[in-house]
């Protein structure tokens, strides 16, 4: 006996359509920069697009700075170095790479790079300023003082140069000269907290504790975050007999020290984890990334990299938790949103997948793969018109994209009468 199906032809085709959509999402994910593994140096789509469309020193600097801000120091270094190959006399790129070297305590490399720029551009005060700052960071105060005085003759009312000279004079114990330069620096640029910190320290040495308090408190108000500022302010308040305020500053000093210690530990563990990934030891990498996340739970990048390692290990539950931690730390973390959407789709939660893919295309509307994944998810839900609109966006961005063309054909076929 032959029984007639109670389902329509279109309904019979849904499992096949959903399967096809899953394959297209997988293809999109595997080819997408959004699914990059490890240190593949893929930055935000707008910065990448800007650099490709109009490569210039500012574009390299912007992308490299993004990598540095997201604790991808090797990518930042690679980007700055690539930019300097194209623009070897760029002040902005040299300053960025020098700053990165100093942050990594690579003082010799920083000094060599800054000196090269200064020699190539002897009349460029910005190039000379970079070299001056590098000498100070390297602790070469004698050479820095000579250069600082020379530059101040060329630009006697430059607030930054006044501050740097004042700093060097304070270090040398010449407090009266330091006070003169720092007071002028504060007058020229009253919103620079660095000048106020240095002036506060000089005034403390000159026993003007009331003046020191005023400058250090103003520096904190303007955004000074270094723990040493809190410590010096506590000392001044103690001398003035303001013990309660001094204790409060000491508490903030200790909190800031702990934050910096935790951050240093997290960066160290993340660096070790990245090396473990390169060595092919993903289990060790996962343990190290977990330590980094515990030390700095607000860092979305560490949680995301943990998720990628767990994905390679096949730990879907752990990967999901890590992605959720990344998004909790940064609600606009596009990479994590996209990957979580893919996991949701694999788990059969199309609504959740759609939500994540929509967040992705909202954040990076020029990412073709994200539009393809959204279209495929909508197609799997039989929301054909909406899926066609999404794939049309992908094709507008990239008319010859094979996955988008294939998906467009499948969606058109699904709409044909049976």
Q: What are phi and psi of 305, to 5 degrees?
A: -65, -35
What residues contact 115, with CB distance under 8 A and at least 6 apart? 131, 134
- What is residue 155's three-state secondary structure? coil
Per-residue pLDDT of the chain (418 residues; tens, 9 = 90+): 222 223 333 344 444 455 555 555 555 443 444 444 444 566 776 787 788 888 899 999 999 998 888 777 888 999 999 999 999 999 999 999 999 999 888 899 999 999 999 999 999 999 999 999 999 999 999 999 999 999 999 999 999 999 999 999 999 999 999 999 999 999 999 999 999 999 999 999 999 999 999 999 999 999 998 999 999 999 999 999 999 999 999 999 999 999 989 988 998 898 899 899 999 999 999 999 999 999 999 988 899 999 999 999 999 999 999 999 998 988 878 888 888 988 988 888 889 988 888 888 887 787 888 898 898 888 888 888 998 899 899 899 889 888 888 888 888 887 766 5
Q: Which residue has the tokens 């994540």?
A: 356
Give pLDDT, residue 256.
92
- From first CA to last CA, the distance across the chain in angstroms is 25
CB 411 within 8 A of CB 375: yes
Q: Name the residue with tokens 């040493």.
A: 228
Dihedral sign computed on CA atoms, order 196, 202, 206, 212 = positive
Task: Count the Cβ atoms, other than its own, within 10 Å of residue 8.
Answer: 10
Q: Which two tokens stand for residue 2?
A: 């032959």
At 128, list the tokens: 């000379």
Query: How many angstroms separate the CA atoms of 30 and 55, rounded?
Result: 27
**What are the two backbone dihedrals, phi and then psi, of residue 226, each rounded to the nearest 5 degrees?**
-60, 135
| Residue 366: count of CB within 10 angstroms of its CB | 15
Q: Are 114 and 94 in contact (CB under 8 A)?
A: yes
The SS3 of residue 177 is helix
Cβ count near 293 (within 10 Å): 23
Give me 146's structure tokens.
């000579």
∠ CA(286), CA(348), CA(6), 5° rounding?
160
Asked if 159 contacts 185 with a C-beta cutoff of 8 angstroms, the reply is yes
Domain edges within the chain: 33-139, 331-418
- In 3D space, the residue among 243, 197, 201, 253 whose CA is nearest the CA of residue 220 turns out to be 197
For position 418, what pLDDT does the model report? 57
Contact between 308 and 293 (Cβ < 8 Å): no
Who's near 68: CB < 8 A, 6+ residues apart? 76, 96, 100
Specify the CATH superfamily of domain 33-139.
Tetratricopeptide repeat domain (1.25.40.10)
- 7 to each of 13, 118, 180, 186, 416, how far by Cα in Å? 10, 78, 89, 80, 17
Same fold, 33-139 and 331-418: yes
The Cα-based distances of 170 to 177, 260, 404 in angstroms read 8, 26, 64
Q: Rounded to whole angstroms, what are the CA distances from 17 to 11, 22, 116, 385?
A: 10, 9, 61, 15
DSSP 23-76: HHHHHHHHH-GGG--SS-----HHHHHHHHHS--HHHHHHHHHHHHHTT-HHHH
- CA 277 to chain centroid: 21
What CATH architecture applies to the domain 331-418? Alpha Horseshoe (1.25)
């Amino acid at each position: 006996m032959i029984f007639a199906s109670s389902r329509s032809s279109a309904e019979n085709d849904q499992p096949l359509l959903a399967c096809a959509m899953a394959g297209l999402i997988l293809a999109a994910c595997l080819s997408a920069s959004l699914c990059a593994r490890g240190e593949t140096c893929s930055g935000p789509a707008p910065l990448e697009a800007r650099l490709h469309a109009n490569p210039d020193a500012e574009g390299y600097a912007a992308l490299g700075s993004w990598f540095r801000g997201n604790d991808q120091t090797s990518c930042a270094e690679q980007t700055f170095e690539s930019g300097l190959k194209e623009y070897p006399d760029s002040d902005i790129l040299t300053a960025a790479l020098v700053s990165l070297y100093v942050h990594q305590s690579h003082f010799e490399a920083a000094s060599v790079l800054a000196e090269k720029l200064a020699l190539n551009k002897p009349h460029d005060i910005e190039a000379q300023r970079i070299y001056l700052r590098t000498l100070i960071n390297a602790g070469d105060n004698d050479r820095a003082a000579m250069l600082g005085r020379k530059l101040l003759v060329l630009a006697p009312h430059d607030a930054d140069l006044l501050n740097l000279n004042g700093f060097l004079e304070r270090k040398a114990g010449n407090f009266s000269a330091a006070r003169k330069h720092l007071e002028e620096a504060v007058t020229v640029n009253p919103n620079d907290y660095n000048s106020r910190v240095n002036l506060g320290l000089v005034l403390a040495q000159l026993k003007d504790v009331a003046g020191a308090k005023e400058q250090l408190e103003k520096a904190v108000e303007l955004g000074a975050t270094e723990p040493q500022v809190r410590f010096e302010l506590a000392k001044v308040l103690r001398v003035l007999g303001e013990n309660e305020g001094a204790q409060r500053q000491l508490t903030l000093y200790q909190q800031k020290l702990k934050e910096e210690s935790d951050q240093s530990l997290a960066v160290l563990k993340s660096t070790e984890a990245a090396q473990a990934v390169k060595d092919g030891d993903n289990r060790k990498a996962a343990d190290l990334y977990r330590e980094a996340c515990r030390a700095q739970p607000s860092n979305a990048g560490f949680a995301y990299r943990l998720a990628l390692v767990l994905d390679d290990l096949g730990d879907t539950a752990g990967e999901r938790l890590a992605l959720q931690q990344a998004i909790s730390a940064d609600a606009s973390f596009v990479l994590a949103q996209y990957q979580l959407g893919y996991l949701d789709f694999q788990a059969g939660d199309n609504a959740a997948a759609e939500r994540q893919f929509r967040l992705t295309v909202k954040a990076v509307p020029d990412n073709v793969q994200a539009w393809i994944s959204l279209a495929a998810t909508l197609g799997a839900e039989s929301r054909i018109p909406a899926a066609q609109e999404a794939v049309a966006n992908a094709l507008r961005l990239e008319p010859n994209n094979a996955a988008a063309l294939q998906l467009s054909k499948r969606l058109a076929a699904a709409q044909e009468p049976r």
